[in-house]
Copies of this chain bind each other. A is one copy, B any other.
């Protein structure tokens, strides 16, 4: 071993030991013949000291060639430091160097390797191996490792078996776009990379595995939004002989176990809310419940007073911004403009100010008496000093707009602390959603999701009203996981494909193996999958999943470091019997 100890290991009790350390030069200082080297590795930083009057001359001259990020090996004696450094764990000691060797010199890095770096996103991605040396990045990946460890500890203790499912599978038209892989041995045919191991985990249940999980890479060829990656990781789980309630309990247990073991947080029982309530109260199927500011519907109170905007609205909905009555006209105008941006698309924003002196002032005073406004305020639970913000229009649109406003106000009021964690189950999602453009119904979750038994008759009469036995876990306004009770009987699965517009032949070609399997003794089963990258970023109190992935891709799906994707040889394409048509 090129070291006897790591750079994070030595303490005052090691004084007088002769040790060898290896690592990177963090910084070198030469002060009047005394040379200090901060030597860094994954485990910490230890100070080396050389004195031109007493240290071996070779070591001194080597030390004078050092600069940032050189890889060196130093041998010497552990001595107590005079000026102790209580910021680092090795701060009580230093190493009086007797010999020093450069294992590998280093060019000047293109950005500073420290917590506050001067490197922009692009340069840090190109030199990701240098970015990984920054302790902030390394800590994120260590957190990820710990999350995976603790996930496995919990799942193993619950008798789940981790099973690896294939990566080279079959392309299916439902869902997002597949990445495909041409098969050389089967010319003209392609594998697809899995968007999830969905059918395989269901087949494991048919195979009697009872409890399955896997921490597994999945792939989606989507146009990348800021915080999506073409390859991502799921905690994928499935159980047999269970009902929705069993899944909720089991995986609430997982999340609480993770909070306890990774963050030392005692997460209380996870509250539950129906999709319908989440939409009504937050305009959002993944509400951020770190703060209240629930929607209050004023439609009945607001109509009939000759204010055309409200009179023509399907919904008039308000939130109460506590303590914001002192917002200036300018602030409110700015908020109104913010709401009118194309991303949100509100026509305007109505306010009612509940002044400290008890008077009420609104932007619609022309149409509503103070009495009217008081009734609104009362329904909103507003008090003196509060500001009521109101949006109206077509119900779904108004809710969506109001949801954005609520989140923005939460942020502005400092109610969304990334180190506070609020989890929520959202239940009873609609089974289907209508695609205007394609003029057909789509599975909201996926085609294997079971309708609620009592809603099955609605499959014949009112597709939009069918609720699914589906559930999402939401933490701090982000969906971290979702799943469903599955269909496990062939006739219902066939019905579902029919509803989704598959011909019999298509359904058979794509999912025949699964429907066949359902005829050979498929148990009732249900499952869930958590977005592991996202879960890690939330635990890390960060916004971006990219910081929790060792080698992420950029928004065009490029790995800047290895410069991939890239062209391939004509010979490779010949062998695969494909051609590009660019």
**Interface set, chain A 524-582, CB cutoff 8 A to B:** 524, 549-551, 553, 556-559, 561-569, 572, 575-582
The docked-state distance in angstroms from the alpha carbon of A187 to that of B556 is: 11
A91 at interface (Cβ–Cβ under 8 A)? no
In the complex, per-residue mask of A275-316: 1 if CB is within 8 Å of any chain B CB, else 0? 000000000000000000000000000000000000000000
A18 at interface (Cβ–Cβ under 8 A)? no
A322 at interface (Cβ–Cβ under 8 A)? no
Interface contact A551-B488, CB-CB below 8 Å: no
- Stretch from A144-152, A330-338, A423-431 contacting the other chain: A144-152
Interface contact A109-B557, CB-CB below 8 Å: no
The docked-state distance in angstroms from the alpha carbon of A567 to that of B190 is: 6
B-side contacts of A524, CB under 8 Å: 2, 71, 103-104
Asked whether A564 and B169 contact (CB < 8 A) given A24-B208, A163-B550, A578-B578, the answer is yes
Asked whether A199 and B581 contact (CB < 8 A) given A130-B207, A184-B177, A488-B104, the answer is no
Asked whether A189 and B566 contact (CB < 8 A) given A104-B522, A167-B217, A513-B561, the answer is yes
B-side contacts of A217, CB under 8 Å: 164, 167, 217
A418 at interface (Cβ–Cβ under 8 A)? no
B-side contacts of A24, CB under 8 Å: 208, 521, 523
Asked whether A193 and B170 contact (CB < 8 A) given A3-B241, A104-B523, A107-B519, the answer is no
The docked-state distance in angstroms from the alpha carbon of A12 to that of B166 is: 42
User: Nearest B residue to A22 by beta-carbon distance?
Assistant: B241
A435 at interface (Cβ–Cβ under 8 A)? no
Q: What is the minimal beta-carbon distance from A28 to any residue of chain B, in angstroms?
A: 14
The docked-state distance in angstroms from the alpha carbon of A40 to that of B161 is: 18
Q: What is the minimal beta-carbon distance from A395 to any residue of chain B, in angstroms?
A: 36
Interface size on A, residues (CB 8 A): 124
Q: What is the minimal beta-carbon distance from A410 to any residue of chain B, in angstroms?
A: 33
Interface contact A580-B550, CB-CB below 8 Å: no
B-side contacts of A219, CB under 8 Å: 167-168
B-side contacts of A580, CB under 8 Å: 182, 187-188, 577-579
A518 at interface (Cβ–Cβ under 8 A)? yes
Identify the interface centre among A106, A208, A558, A569: most chain B CB within 10 Å of its CB.
A208
User: Nearest B residue to A582 by beta-carbon distance?
Assistant: B188
**Interface set, chain A 223-257, CB cutoff 8 A to B:** 223-224, 230-231, 233, 241-243, 246
Interface contact B170-A145, CB-CB below 8 Å: no
CB pairs A–B below 8 angstroms (26 shown): A2-B242, A3-B241, A24-B521, A41-B208, A42-B208, A42-B210, A105-B521, A106-B521, A128-B203, A128-B207, A132-B207, A132-B208, A138-B209, A145-B162, A167-B231, A170-B563, A171-B572, A180-B181, A180-B568, A182-B182, A185-B557, A188-B580, A191-B564, A513-B561, A578-B580, A579-B580
Beyond A104-B489, A168-B557, 15 extra complex contacts between A and B, CB < 8 Å: A24-B523, A42-B208, A69-B521, A103-B523, A104-B518, A106-B520, A109-B520, A168-B219, A169-B564, A177-B572, A183-B565, A188-B580, A200-B551, A203-B551, A513-B563
